[in-house]
């Protein structure tokens, strides 16, 4: 009250100045938090913070709250996949421990499983039901290749949940496989499409190398790369991977699903394998052979 009318006149412009300082000066960011009317943290950051605090229950509540206004597909791209990139980033910068990373991955998988079962990875030779579906001409085989670890594998399992209505079956390989082993597995399984999951940060050089190996060995193979969760340098990443042999690069699961859908339209359905009816004369001979004299 000491400033009286002068203070009243100056209050509004001073407040505007403080808000501008809080928005554009990093050291004054706390002012924007105190005076702003927006949530302090985005949902993905709040979710990740709960994981770092080892509070899976509250992380699950954040997910439940998000799903009240958004779809499962939006949840994957806006909350769960970003959290996987955050824990990888913090692990590489020694801001998170190995235990922190393991907890975040395990909790995220369990929370995702509560929404829709993710299934398991399948190793080479473990996919007999998949082979049966290809023999009947109903599905197209897509090999999912995790680039560097469990986070990429988990992202691929989420991606697989988005493909339920498409005419493909995705087989997720182990993240422990080397590039040469991946190439051999794709060739042995005669896959039509490969989807490489390479969550940031890092991993670009290895994925370019894998794209080149696959393209050299299998020139007709369709290669998709998911740089899911990438926030910056998207066009540079895309250009480098396309130059290395990739057919398409997506930065979200939904973008990659669209790219895969367009790719499948270029692949003709495999012909159904008809089972011939038994020759009646042969069947009669068989019955006579076992009939009593």
- Read off the CATH number of the domain in which 81 is found: 1.10.1240.10
Which pLDDT belongs to residue 188? 95
pLDDT tens-digit profile of 141-181? 999 999 889 999 999 999 999 998 888 999 999 999 999 99
pLDDT tens-digit profile of 250-259? 999 999 999 9
Q: Specify whether 154 is located in the same domain as 253.
A: yes
Q: Specify whether 89 is located in the same domain as 212.
A: no
- The count of structural domains within the chain is 2
pTM of the predicted protein model: 0.75
Which pLDDT belongs to residue 105? 97
Which pLDDT belongs to residue 87? 96
CA dihedral 160, 163, 166, 170 (to 10 degrees): -10
- Read off the CATH number of the domain in which 153 is found: 3.40.50.280
| Residue 157, domain member (yes or no) | yes
Residues of the domain holding 62: 43-115
pLDDT tier, 47 (very low <50, low <70, confident <90, very high otherwise): very high
Q: Specify whether 69 is located in the same domain as 166.
A: no
Q: Specify whether 133 is located in the same domain as 169.
A: yes
Lowest average pLDDT, out of 80-89, 187-196, 262-271, goes to 262-271
Q: In this model, does residue 103 exceed pLDDT 60?
A: yes
Which pLDDT belongs to residue 164? 85
| Residue 20, domain member (yes or no) | no
């Amino acid at each position: 009250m000491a400033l009286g009318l002068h203070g009243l006149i100056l209050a509004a412009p001073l407040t505007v100045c403080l808000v501008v300082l809080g928005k554009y000066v990093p050291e004054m960011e706390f002012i924007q938090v105190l005076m702003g009317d927006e949530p302090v943290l985005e949902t993905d950051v709040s979710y990740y913070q709960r994981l770092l605090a080892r509070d899976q229950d509250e992380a699950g509540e954040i997910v439940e709250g998000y799903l009240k206004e958004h779809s499962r597909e939006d949840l994957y791209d806006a909350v769960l996949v970003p959290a996987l990139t955050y824990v990888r980033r913090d692990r590489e910068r020694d801001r998170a421990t190995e235990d922190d990373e393991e907890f975040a991955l395990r909790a995220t998988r369990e929370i995702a499983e509560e929404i829709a079962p993710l299934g398991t990875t399948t190793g080479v030779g473990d996919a007999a039901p998949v082979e049966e579906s290809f023999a009947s001409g109903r599905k197209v085989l897509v090999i999912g290749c995790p680039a560097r670890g469990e986070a990429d594998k988990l992202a691929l399992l989420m991606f697989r949940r988005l493909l339920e209505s498409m005419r493909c079956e995705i087989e997720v390989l182990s993240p422990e496989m080397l590039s040469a082993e991946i190439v051999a597995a794709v060739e042995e399984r005669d896959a039509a499409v490969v989807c490489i999951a390479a969550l940031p940060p890092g991993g670009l050089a290895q994925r370019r190398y894998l794209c080149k190996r696959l393209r050299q060995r299998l020139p007709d193979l369709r290669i998709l790369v998911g740089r899911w969760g990438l926030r910056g340098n998207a066009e540079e990443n895309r250009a480098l991977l396309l130059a290395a042999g990739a057919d398409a690069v997506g930065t979200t699961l939904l973008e990659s699903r669209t790219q895969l859908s367009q790719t499948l339209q270029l692949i003709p359905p495999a012909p159904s394998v008809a089972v011939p009816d038994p020759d009646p004369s042969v069947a009669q001979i068989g019955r006579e052979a076992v009939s009593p004299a």
